[in-house]
Amino acid sequence: MENFAEITALIADRATLFRHGLVGLLKEHRPGWSCAEASVLDEVRAHLSVEPVDLVLLDLQFAGAPAAVDLRRLRELFPAQKIMVFADSDDRATILDCLAAGANGYILKSTTMNQLLRAMEIVLSGGVFAPAALTGVPQPVNVVREPEASPLLAHLTDRQIEVFRLLS
């Protein structure tokens, strides 16, 4: 297992109380981690342009636009950035849209702190994290890496493609 003693995370959520609470919990459970905060997408872009972070935690409804739109914008500007979406929704289509738009992970806000930390470590290790809600649905996930088949899928990493295939 990799050493995650010193990680920098950017918490991006419109809700000040939620951001402060998550930062406090992360610092409590991982004292060596540092956290920055952003309340609008422009702050995320500005921060990443000046000071890279190991992981961005992005609220699903962050800028009022669908998360996939925000993810695509961030992916275009910061193609190597690790990004996890956190949300209240366990809707399968929403999760798949976020992963297809470039999220390295998707976690529910109702998760436990231990589950959040484990999901973050999976993403930081280069993996893709998706909630059990995605795998609990009998409908198969079909992923084809042909840009003409779906322009969204062209942006998936090999690992994301592998995860989708394992889910099908």
DSSP annotation of 146: -
Domain with 24, as residue range(s), is 8-133
The answer to whether residue 37 sits within a structural domain is yes
The answer to whether residue 145 sits within a structural domain is no
Looking at the structure of the chain, the number of domains it has is 1
Separation of alpha carbons 91 and 93, rounded Å: 6
**Per-residue model confidence (pLDDT) at position 167:** 61
The answer to whether residue 150 sits within a structural domain is no
Whether the full predicted model's pTM is greater than 0.85, yes or no, is no
**Per-residue model confidence (pLDDT) at position 51:** 93
The answer to whether residue 31 sits within a structural domain is yes
The CATH number assigned to the domain holding 127 equals 3.40.50.2300
**Per-residue model confidence (pLDDT) at position 94:** 87
Assigned token pair, 60 = 């699903």
CA angle 48, 51, 57 (to 5 degrees): 50
Enumerate residue ranges in the chain where pLDDT < 70. Answer: 1-3, 63-67, 135-158, 161-168
**Per-residue model confidence (pLDDT) at position 156:** 64
Judge contact between 60 and 43, C-beta under 8 A: no
* Residue 86 phi, psi dihedral angles, 5° rounding: -125, 140
**Per-residue model confidence (pLDDT) at position 18:** 92
The answer to whether residue 3 sits within a structural domain is no
The answer to whether residue 122 sits within a structural domain is yes
The answer to whether residue 55 sits within a structural domain is yes
**Per-residue model confidence (pLDDT) at position 136:** 61
Beta bridge partners of 48: none
The answer to whether residue 123 sits within a structural domain is yes
- Residue 72, amino acid: R
